[in-house]
Chain A
Amino acid sequence: MSEKLQTIQPGAPGAAMDMHEEIKTPMKVMTQRFLKQRNSVIALGFILFLVVLAFIGPLIVPFDVNQYDYSAILQGPSSTHWFGTDEFGRDLFSRIILGTPISLAVGLSAVTIGAVTGTVLGLLSGYYRGWIDAVVMRICDTLFAFPGIILAIAIVAILGSGLYNVVIAVAVFSTPTFARIVRSRTMAIKESVFVKAAINLGASDARILFKHILPGAIPDIIVQYTMSIGTSILTASSLSFLGMGAQPPTPEWGLLLSNGRQYIATNIYTTIFPGLAIFFTVLSFNTLGDGLRDALDPKLTE
Chain B
Amino acid sequence: MAEKKKILEVKHLHTHFITDDVVVKAVDDVSLVLEEGSTLGIVGESGSGKSVTALSVMNLLMGTKGKVVEGEILLDGDDILNIPESKKRDLRGGRISMIFQEPMTSLNPVMTIGDQLIECIKNHESLSKQEAYDRARNILEMTGVPRVDKMMKEYPFQLSGGQRQRVMIAMALICEPEVLIADEPTTALDVTIQAQILDLMNRLKEKIGTSILFITHDLGVVAEICDQVAVMYCGRVVETADVYSLFGHTAHPYTQGLLASIPKLGEKVEELTVIPGNVPNPRRMPAGCKFAPRCPHAFERCLQEEPGFYEVGKGHFSRCWLNAPDNEVKGGEA
Q: Is the CB of A8 within 8 A of B278?
A: no
Q: How far, in whole Å, are A15 and B277 apart by their CA atoms in the complex?
A: 9
Q: Which residues of B contact A9 (CB under 8 A)?
A: 17, 24, 26, 282
Q: Which residues of A contact B282 (CB under 8 A)?
A: 9-11
Q: How far, in whole Å, are A5 and B63 apart by their CA atoms in the complex?
A: 9
Kindly identify which residue among B25, B51, B277 contacts A8, using a CB–CB cutoff of 8 Å: B51
1/0 contact string of A1-45 vs chain B (CB within 8 Å): 100110111111111110000000000000000000000000000
**Given A12-B46, A17-B281, 7 additional A-B pairs, CB 8 A:** A1-B63, A5-B65, A11-B234, A12-B47, A13-B281, A16-B277, A16-B281
Q: How many residues of B contact A (CB 8 A)?
A: 24
Q: Which residues of B contact A15 (CB under 8 A)?
A: 47, 278-281
A14 shortest CB reach to chain B, Å: 7
Q: Which residues of B contact A14 (CB under 8 A)?
A: 281
**B55 at interface, CB cutoff 8 A:** yes
Closest to A5 in B: B64
Q: How far, in whole Å, are A116 and B273 apart by their CA atoms in the complex?
A: 55
A38 shortest CB reach to chain B, Å: 15
List 6 A-B pairs, minimum CB-CB distance, nearest first: A11-B282, A11-B47, A10-B47, A15-B278, A10-B26, A16-B281
Q: Which of B24-49 contact A (CB under 8 A)?
A: 24-26, 46-49
Question: Footprint of B on A, CB under 8 Å?
Answer: 1, 4-5, 7-17
**B235 at interface, CB cutoff 8 A:** yes
Q: How far, in whole Å, are A54 and B24 apart by their CA atoms in the complex?
A: 48
Q: Which residues of B contact A8 (CB under 8 A)?
A: 26, 51-52, 55, 64, 66
B15 shortest CB reach to chain A, Å: 9
Q: How far, in whole Å, are A5 and B26 apart by their CA atoms in the complex?
A: 12
**B330 at interface, CB cutoff 8 A:** no
**B268 at interface, CB cutoff 8 A:** no
Q: Which residues of B contact A5 (CB under 8 A)?
A: 64-65
Q: Which residues of A contact B281 (CB under 8 A)?
A: 11, 13-17
**B284 at interface, CB cutoff 8 A:** yes
Closest to B26 in A: A10
17 pairs from A and B in contact (CB 8 Å cutoff)? A5-B65, A7-B51, A8-B26, A8-B66, A10-B17, A10-B46, A10-B47, A10-B48, A11-B234, A11-B279, A11-B280, A11-B282, A12-B279, A16-B277, A16-B278, A16-B279, A16-B280
Q: Which residues of B contact A1 (CB under 8 A)?
A: 63
Q: How far, in whole Å, are A12 and B46 apart by their CA atoms in the complex?
A: 7
1/0 contact string of B226-264 vs chain A (CB within 8 Å): 000000001100000000000000000000000000000
Q: How far, in whole Å, are A1 and B60 apart by their CA atoms in the complex?
A: 13
Q: How far, in whole Å, are A5 and B235 apart by their CA atoms in the complex?
A: 16
Q: Which residues of B contact A13 (CB under 8 A)?
A: 281
Q: Which residues of A contact B52 (CB under 8 A)?
A: 8, 10
Q: Is the CB of B235 within 8 A of A10?
A: yes
Q: How far, in whole Å, are A298 and B235 apart by their CA atoms in the complex?
A: 29
A37 shortest CB reach to chain B, Å: 13
B34 shortest CB reach to chain A, Å: 21
Q: How far, in whole Å, are A16 and B24 apart by their CA atoms in the complex?
A: 15
Q: Which residues of A contact B17 (CB under 8 A)?
A: 9-10
Q: How far, in whole Å, are A9 and B277 apart by their CA atoms in the complex?
A: 19
Q: Is the CB of B64 within 8 A of A10?
A: no
Q: How far, in whole Å, are A9 and B26 apart by their CA atoms in the complex?
A: 7
Chain B CB within 10 Å — which of A5, A8, A12, A15 has the most? A8
Kindly identify which residue among A4, A12, A17 contacts B64, using a CB–CB cutoff of 8 Å: A4
Q: How far, in whole Å, are A1 and B65 apart by their CA atoms in the complex?
A: 12
Q: How far, in whole Å, are A12 and B45 apart by their CA atoms in the complex?
A: 10
Closest to B278 in A: A15
Q: How far, in whole Å, are A17 and B279 apart by their CA atoms in the complex?
A: 11
Q: Which of B271-328 contact A (CB under 8 A)?
A: 277-282, 284
